[in-house]
C-alpha cells in the first residue's frame, strides 16, 4: 500500500502538499481521496483484470464519454492503471434509496441517458458485454482453477443456455453492466453514476435486471422500473425477456464472486458473498421458471 501512496504523490497534477486517505467499498480497484491546495479528487488504481473482462482503456473511454453525457464526474488525469476523477461531495446510495419513487425515477432517467447518449461521445475501441459469454468464460476459468464449486457448473451452464434462448432478440445500447447501488452518488441535487470497469454494448435489460436484483425490488417495483424506462405498458414478451436477463445477471454476479475467491488480492470476504449471491440466483431462477 505504501508503494501505491508513493506513486500517487509523484503525479504531476498536484499543487503544493497533498493529503491521501483510502476509500472503502471498492472490490475491483484501490480507491483514494486525494486533496491538494486547490481541489479534491478520487484516484482509482487497478490494472487490467482479464479473468473479469476488465480492460482499463475501456474504463477510461467510458468514463470520458459518461462525463461528456453529464452522467459522471470529469476525468482529470490518467496513466496506465490509474485514473484521477473529479471529487463530488455526495453520499453513496443504498438499495433502500431506490425504493423511493423519486430516486428511482431519477436513477432510471440517468441509466437511459447513459444507454442512449454515451455512444455519441465514445471514442476509440469499445467492448461488448454479453452476459452469456461472460458466464461461459467464468465457468471455464473456474474449472481450470479447480474451483471448490465445480459440482454446480453443469447445471448452471444448462440453465444459462435456457436463459439465453428466453432473452431472444435484443436492442443494443451502451451499458454500465455493474449497477450496484453503491455506484450511484447523490450530491443533494442530482444523481451521478460512476465506476465504468465493466462498460460495454449490451441489452438494456441487463442493467435494469441488475439494478432490480441488487435493490431487492418487488414484482410491482420491477414493473414500475420497466415502465419508467420504456415509457409504455410492458408486454408479456418483454417481461419474460427481462426476467431471463435479470436471472442471468444474478448468475453472472455469483460466478464473478467465485472467480474472485481465487484470483482477487483485495481484502474482501468473497466466500460469504458467493453464498449470498448464489442464494439470490436460485431465488431468481425459481421465479423465472414460473413466469
pLDDT tier at 255, thresholds 50, 70, 90: very high
Rounded to the nearest integer, the mean pLDDT of the chain is 95
Kindly state the helix (H) or strand (E) to which residue 168 belongs, with its residue range: none
User: How many CA atoms, within 13 angstroms, populate the side-chain half-sphere of residue 49?
Assistant: 19
Name the DSSP letter for residue 128. B
pLDDT tens digit sequence for 69-128: 999 999 999 999 999 999 999 999 999 999 999 999 999 999 999 999 999 999 999 999
pLDDT tens digit sequence for 161-193: 999 999 999 999 999 999 999 999 999 999 999
Write phi, then psi, for 186 (nearest 5 degrees): -120, 120
If DSSP codes are grouped into helix, strand and coil, which group holds residue 69? coil
Structural domains for the chain: 2-86 (3.30.200.20), 91-288 (3.90.1200.10)
Strands 173-175 and 184-186: unpaired
pTM for this predicted structure: 0.93
Cell of 249: 445477471
Distance CA(252)–CA(109), nearest Å, equals 25
β-bridge mates for residue 43, sequence order: 32, 84
pLDDT tier at 26, thresholds 50, 70, 90: low
Write phi, then psi, for 72 (nearest 5 degrees): -130, 160
pLDDT value of residue 176:
98
pLDDT tens digit sequence for 27-57: 667 899 999 999 999 999 989 999 999 999 9
pLDDT tier at 24, thresholds 50, 70, 90: confident
CA 187 to chain centroid: 20
Amino acid at each position: 500500500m505504501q508503494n501505491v501512496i508513493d506513486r500517487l504523490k509523484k503525479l504531476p497534477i498536484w499543487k503544493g502538499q497533498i493529503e491521501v486517505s483510502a476509500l472503502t467499498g471498492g472490490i475491483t480497484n484501490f480507491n483514494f481521496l486525494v486533496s491538494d491546495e486547490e481541489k479534491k479528487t478520487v484516484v482509482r488504481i487497478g490494472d487490467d483484470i482479464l479473468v473479469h473482462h476488465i480492460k482499463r482503456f475501456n474504463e477510461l473511454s467510458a468514463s470520458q464519454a459518461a462525463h461528456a453525457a453529464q452522467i459522471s464526474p470529469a476525468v482529470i488525469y490518467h496513466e496506465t492503471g490509474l485514473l484521477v476523477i473529479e471529487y463530488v461531495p455526495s453520499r453513496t446510495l443504498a438499495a433502500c434509496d431506490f425504493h423511493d419513487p423519486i430516486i428511482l425515477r431519477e436513477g432510471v432517467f440517468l441509466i437511459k441517458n447513459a444507454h442512449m447518449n454515451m455512444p455519441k461521445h465514445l471514442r476509440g475501441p469499445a467492448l461488448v458485454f454479453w452476459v452469456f459469454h461472460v458466464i461461459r468464460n467464468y465457468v471455464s476459468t473456474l474449472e481450470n482453477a479447480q474451483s471448490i464449486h465445480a459440482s454446480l457448473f453443469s447445471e448452471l451452464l444448462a440453465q444459462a443456455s435456457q436463459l439465453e434462448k428466453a432473452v431472444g432478440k435484443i436492442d443494443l445500447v451502451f451499458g454500465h453492466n455493474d449497477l450496484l447501488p453503491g455506484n450511484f452518488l447523490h450530491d443533494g441535487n442530482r444523481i451521478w453514476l460512476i465506476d465504468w470497469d465493466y462498460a460495454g454494448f449490451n441489452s438494456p435489460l441487463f442493467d435494469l435486471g441488475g439494478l432490480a436484483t441488487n435493490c431487492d425490488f418487488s414484482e410491482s417495483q420491477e414493473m414500475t422500473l420497466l415502465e419508467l424506462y420504456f415509457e409504455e405498458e410492458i408486454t408479456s414478451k418483454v417481461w419474460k425477456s427481462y426476467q431471463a436477463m435479470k436471472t442471468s445477471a444474478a448468475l453472472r454476479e455469483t460466478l464473478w464472486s467465485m472467480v474472485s475467491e481465487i484470483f482477487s488480492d483485495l481484502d474482501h470476504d468473497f466466500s460469504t458473498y458467493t453464498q449470498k449471491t448464489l442464494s439470490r440466483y436460485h431465488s431468481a431462477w425459481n421465479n423465472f421458471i414460473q413466469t
